[in-house]
Amino acid sequence: MSTNILLLCGGDGAEHDISLLSASFIEEQLNKTEDFYVLKAVIHNNQFLVEDKPGYFDNNKTFVFDNHKFDVDCVVPCIHGVPGETGDIQSFLEILNIPYIGCRSQASRYCFDKNTTKLHLDSLGIPNSPYKIIPLPNEQYKQIALEFFDKYKDIYVKAASQGSSVGCYHVTKRDDVWDSIIEAFSYSTEVVIEKNIVHRELEVAAYEIDGELKISKPGEIIIPENKFYTYDEKYSQDSGTTTTVEPEGLTDEEIHTIQNLARRAFVGLKLRDLSRIDFFLSKEDGILINEINTFPGATPISMFPKMLEHNGDKMDVFLAKAVYHAIKEHEKGENK
């Protein structure tokens, strides 16, 4: 009997299209396991669509679409941003009692929200950039934001619950601070402002395989000077950004510190199966965690699969093991 996998992708957030690219790659990898039968459903306009036909879950772990019934053994929620990395789809699957791979709902939500990530990192003693949470666009927080700017003179303003650099601005003029914050509020109910960290951008794949947490060697995102890692730099054809899984000139100590911090974040934030943990390496500010992605991109240019493979593992084997593990854990009642 085959293992039926429902591959969920899309979502109605800013990262819908990227999620579809990742899902094609993940589908290809899942199909390498002979035992797997994969059905792909795209979340769009609050519907689950299988080749544009709407489907729904009945109450027996069955996904029904176009007069077909698909008994779901495991879900792979390949969604970046809403509603996958926000933890919503995981909560939904927990209510339906369906096994899924990846981080649970609470860890997903903590990590997707840049403010709750920072509060957790602080409490775990993990260095991150100096910041202020801006929960409301009112006069009180305007003053706090301007004082913060006066201290650092060069800041980032970011929508707290967004990915792919949507609602993220580099601000070097005092007059632009508040306008950028108002703009960021159009993407998220909270905003975070951070000191600009002059840095090299490094990231690791943190993943569990056969019950062992592995942290890859850091890879590097090399962004052209005077730019930051914007949506276009991430995904556009003519992006000047390059990536490497063998960054030059890192000391063993730097690599060790990065891996150690990643391990502490993975364990402390109770992540599961996979994540990509992003770092800033800065002469002035040391090694900081920038953010944690609970379902990292898996497009042909994405770093997570590259770093995992460079670390000696195979993406298809990793996914297969995660699926079997999720099913087994679920049988023991340990999905949550």
Ligand X SMILES: Nc1ncnc2c1ncn2[C@@H]1O[C@H](COP(=O)(O)OP(=O)(O)O)[C@@H](O)[C@H]1O
Q: Pick between residue 111 and residue 322 the one whose CB is nearest to ligand X.
A: 111
The only residue of 108, 216, 290, 299 in contact with ligand X, by rule CB under 6 A = 290
Q: Pick between residue 165 and residue 259 the one whose CB is nearest to ligand X.
A: 165
Torsion angle of alpha carbons 315, 278, 110, 162, nearest 10°? Answer: -100
- By CB under 6 A, is residue 289 in contact with ligand X? no
How far apart, in whole angstroms, are the C-alpha atoms of residue 158 and residue 133? Answer: 10
The only residue of 87, 99, 102, 163 in contact with ligand X, by rule CB under 6 A = 163
Strands 53-57 vs 286-293: parallel, antiparallel or unpaired: unpaired
Q: Pick between residue 190 and residue 201 the one whose CB is nearest to ligand X.
A: 201
The only residue of 5, 168, 206, 258 in contact with ligand X, by rule CB under 6 A = 168
- By CB under 6 A, is residue 228 in contact with ligand X? yes
> How many chain residues interact with ligand X (CB under 6 A)?
19
- Interface with ligand X in residues 117-136 (CB under 6 A): 129
Q: Pick between residue 164 and residue 302 the one whose CB is nearest to ligand X.
A: 164
- By CB under 6 A, is residue 158 in contact with ligand X? yes
Torsion angle of alpha carbons 169, 173, 179, 182, nearest 10°? Answer: 50
- By CB under 6 A, is residue 291 in contact with ligand X? yes
Find the residue with minimal CB distance to ligand X. Answer: 229
- Using an 8 Å Cβ cutoff, are 58 and 79 in contact? no
Q: Pick between residue 20 and residue 281 the one whose CB is nearest to ligand X.
A: 281
Residue 283, judged by CB atoms within 10 A of its CB (0-12, 13-18, 19+), counts as: exposed
Q: Which pair of structure tokens corresponds to residue 305?
A: 């699969």
Which distant-in-sequence residues (6+ apart) come within 8 Å of 167 by Cβ?
158, 159, 183, 184, 186, 187, 188
Q: How far is the CB of 145 from ligand X (least distance, A)?
A: 14
How far apart, in whole angstroms, are the C-alpha atoms of residue 289 and residue 65? Answer: 42
- By CB under 6 A, is residue 165 in contact with ligand X? yes
How far apart, in whole angstroms, are the C-alpha atoms of residue 167 and residue 193? Answer: 12
- Interface with ligand X in residues 172-211 (CB under 6 A): 194-197, 199, 201
- Using an 8 Å Cβ cutoff, are 213 and 232 in contact? no
Q: Pick between residue 81 and residue 99 the one whose CB is nearest to ligand X.
A: 81
Residues in touch with ligand X (CB under 6 A) = 129, 156, 158, 162-165, 168, 194-197, 199, 201, 228-229, 278, 290-291
